[in-house]
Amino acid sequence: MADEPSKLDISDEMIAERRGGSGKMPSDMPSWMATSIVNIDKFSKWVGNVVCWILMPLILAMTYEVFARKLFHAPTIWAYDISRFLYGALFMLGAGYALSKGVHIRADFLYRNFKTKNQGTIDFWLYILFYFPGLIVFLYMTIGYVGESIQRGERGMDTTWMPYMWPIKTCLLIGIVFLLIQGISELFKSYWAATRGKWPGEDKC
């Protein structure tokens, strides 16, 4: 008899799922904290649902470019810029939603084996010491970049189309704001895990 197939290691996915806020908030969690987590996660989900539609013009632009280049020998001057702008917007504007689902890349090969309380403690202090300070500095710098780009009428100089750069830089700015907002929810979840030994989404009661 053949050996049974080994179980797929989905520990990382389980960590991501339980931090996604899919379950009800614990009954003993302060109402202001529970409301904040739920509303922020709902907002990030709504943003994710809207931002995913960027894929449609991205696919259409690239498909048009392929047909125009290969069949009619008439490559566009705009497809390259459009594709990188749309992909960049998709990546940045959807970053907050990705954080809410716990799917950002992280070194979980050690973390996955820690107790939930230790995971929460590590996450809580990493958010306090690195995540928020880093994003706040990044936000400050990006505001300057966007303002300067608009003021100068900055254009991309690496293609003949030379598109304005401020729209994609604005997406970067908005994406940072979304990350900061979702970070508040993640901070509360981490605090709860650090003090109670379980992630809020694990409470199905």
Q: What mean pLDDT do residues 73-79 have? A: 91
The pLDDT score that the predictor gives to residue 88 is: 95
What average pLDDT does the structure give for the chain? 88
Q: What mean pLDDT do residues 123-135 have? A: 97
Interval 188-198: pLDDT, tens: 999 999 999 99
The pLDDT score that the predictor gives to residue 23 is: 59
How many whole angstroms from its chain centre is CA 139?
15
pLDDT tier, 21 (very low <50, low <70, confident <90, very high otherwise): low
The pLDDT score that the predictor gives to residue 17 is: 55
Measured CA to CA, the distance from residue 139 to residue 147 in angstroms comes to 12
How many whole angstroms from its chain centre is CA 15?
16
In the chain, % of residues over pLDDT 70: 86
Check: CB of residue 178 under 8 Å from CB of residue 95: yes
Both tokens assigned to 145: 């970049």
Interval 148-175: pLDDT, tens: 999 999 999 888 899 999 999 999 999 9
The pLDDT score that the predictor gives to residue 205 is: 44
Interval 135-144: pLDDT, tens: 999 999 999 9
Interval 50-75: pLDDT, tens: 999 999 999 999 999 999 999 988 89
Report how far apart the first and last C-alpha atoms of the chain are (Å, whole number): 42
Measured CA to CA, the distance from residue 132 to residue 124 in angstroms comes to 11
Q: Enumerate the β-bridge partners of residue 155.
A: 164
Check: CB of residue 44 under 8 Å from CB of residue 96: yes
Residue whose token pair is 């306090």: 128
The pLDDT score that the predictor gives to residue 1 is: 47
Residue whose token pair is 């050996």: 3
7-11, 34-38, 178-182: lowest mean pLDDT where?
7-11
Whether 99 shows a pLDDT value over 80: the answer reads: yes
SS3 155: strand
* Predicted TM-score (pTM) of this structure: 0.87
